[in-house]
Amino acid sequence: MSASAASPAVSKPRTGLASYAVRAETGRGRRLPEAVSRYRNDFQRDRDRIIHSSAFRRLEYKTQVFVNHEGDLFRTRLTHSLEVAQIARTLARELRLNEDLIEAIALAHDLGHTPFGHAGQDALNACMRPYGGFEHNAQSLRVVDELECKYAAFRGLNLLFETREGILKHCSVRRARALGDVGERFLKRQQPSLEAQLANFADEIAYNNHDVDDGLRAGLITFEQLRGVPLFRRHHDLVLETYPRATRRQQRHETIRRMISTLISDLLEASQQRLETVKPRHVNDVRALNKPLVGYSEAQRKQNLALKQFLNRKLYRHPKVVRMSAQSQRIVADLFKRYMKNPQLIPAEFVQDSPNPTDLPRLVADYIAGMTDRFALTEHKKLR
């Protein structure tokens, strides 16, 4: 693999935004039009609103694989979101896409996550099944559209269509119908902007690699096991060849950073090739396609898949993780039952701010989804 992410594979000059980037002039704007800022463009403003939201601050105490109190060294959703933003900006810059937009999407993409990561979301979804279900990704959009409510002039953060489009990665047809503009593409089977497509890959590159890192440090997976994964083995061999005396900690970091670089380079090269073949001239040309333009080469896609499958088998289904997940699911299910039975336990201010104060199941789901791991644990102890 050459490092040709930086090589002149693009025929156009590498300055300014590409014609297919999202631009303010051709954007669909905000639900409630606002005056432009003197100092920031609209995309930067969206990013800043996300950073200043309370849901963003809570990401610090939420986790995806490891529960927050398990150790201070593991990724939280906040550090994960920062890693996603860093990778996403690199990808966008290289393809001359809108960096401010992709940063906003990356920082907001996990805002709707429940406490206790995927275990928490599965439990909440199960509780909500009779009431329309719970999807963490749709919840991220709900957070920025409805649940944040500190602006006097509007509900939510009044973000740009393009930011909201990027936050909503997947969505059921039923939900898409209810969502209006951002739901349309799921009904028409169209694509989001390239910025949105790339942010999605940045998310995956970040979590696969940091889960390898956290998994190794937690002692749940080993170098020996990982050497069965071609992507890891190739880079680990390279590290050992270059630094035969590297410590395990150095080997871990040097291997992972090379894996990330390889995934980024391949993604950029393969996506650039598709861009050159399809030649979209406008973001609407990108949207009208029936499949995404961003993606790995076939060989890299397979290697990446092997890594994901390894993590699925060895880390996410590790007995220790499974035990932790089962406990988390019980906590979420207990909380749901308790608040459904005793809605007066939900703080009055939260009910007052709710977009659906009379829809009890949705109110309870929003309340639980907003909890951090430790708040959910404390509440659970109180309720017993």
Q: Taking CB under 5 A as the rule, does residue 135 contact Mg ion?
A: no
Q: Which of residues 282-341 bind Mg ion (CB under 5 A)?
A: none
Amino acid identity of residue 263, one-letter, is: L
- Going by C-alpha positions, the residue among 322, 319, 324, 333 that lies closest to residue 376 is 333
Largest CA distance in the chain: 65
Closer to Mg ion by CB, 41 or 86: give it.
86
CB of 81 to Mg ion, least distance (A): 7
Nearer to Mg ion among residue 43 and residue 207 (C-beta): 207
CB of 381 to Mg ion, least distance (A): 28
x-marked contacts with Mg ion along 175-204 as a string, rule CB under 5 A = ----------------------------x-
Smallest distance from the beta carbon of 246 to Mg ion, in angstroms?
30
Least Cβ distance, residue 294 to Mg ion (angstroms):
16
Closest residue by Cα to residue 141 from 96, 99, 186: 186
Q: Is 148 in the site for Mg ion (CB under 5 A)?
A: no
Please pick, from the candidates 46, 83, 99, 110, the single residue that binds Mg ion as defined by CB under 5 A: 110
Nearest distance in Å: CB 80, Mg ion: 6
Task: Please give the span between the terminal C-alpha atoms of the chain, in angstroms, as a whole number.
Answer: 56
CB of 109 to Mg ion, least distance (A): 5
Give yes or no for a contact between 136 and 83, defined as CB atoms under 8 angstroms apart: no
Can you state the percent helix, strand and coil of the chain, rounding each to 5?
Answer: 65, 0, 35
Asked if 42 and 36 count as a contact pair (C-beta separation under 8 A), the reply is yes
Q: Is 211 in the site for Mg ion (CB under 5 A)?
A: no
Within 311-359, where are the H helices?
A: 319-341, 348-353
Q: Rounded to an integer, what distance in angstroms lies between the CA atom of residue 278 and that of residue 6?
A: 21
269 binds Mg ion (CB under 5 A): no
Q: Give the contact letters, 47-76, x = binds to Mg ion (CB under 5 A), - = no.
A: ------------------------------
Structure tokens at 317: 């289904």
Which is nearer to Mg ion, 94 or 203 (by Cβ)? Answer: 203
User: Is the four-CA dihedral 227, 231, 232, 235 of positive or negative sign?
Assistant: positive
Stretch that binds Mg ion, among 40-48, 89-97, 105-113, 117-125 (CB under 5 A): 105-113
Closest CB to Mg ion among residues 42, 195: 195
Residue 83 lies near Mg ion (rule: CB under 5 A): no
Binding residues for Mg ion, rule CB under 5 A, total 2
- Confirm or reject binding of residue 373 to Mg ion (CB under 5 A): no
Residue closer to Mg ion, measured from CB, 99 or 203? 203
Q: How far apart are CA 21 and CA 19, in angstroms?
A: 6
Cβ closest to Mg ion, residue 203 vs residue 373 = 203
Is the CB of residue 294 less than 8 Å from the CB of residue 87?
A: no
φ, ψ of residue 160 to 5 degrees: the values are -65, 150
Q: Which residues pair with 160 in a beta bridge?
A: 30
Residues present in the chain in total: 384
Least separation in angstroms between residue 343's CB and Mg ion is 31
Residue nearest to Mg ion (CB): 203
Min dist CB 64 to Mg ion, Å, is 7
Identify which range of 25-33, 103-111, 233-241, 285-293 contacts Mg ion by CB under 5 A: 103-111
Give the span between the Cα atoms of 201 and 205, in whole angstroms: 6
Contact residues for Mg ion, defined by CB under 5 A = 110, 203
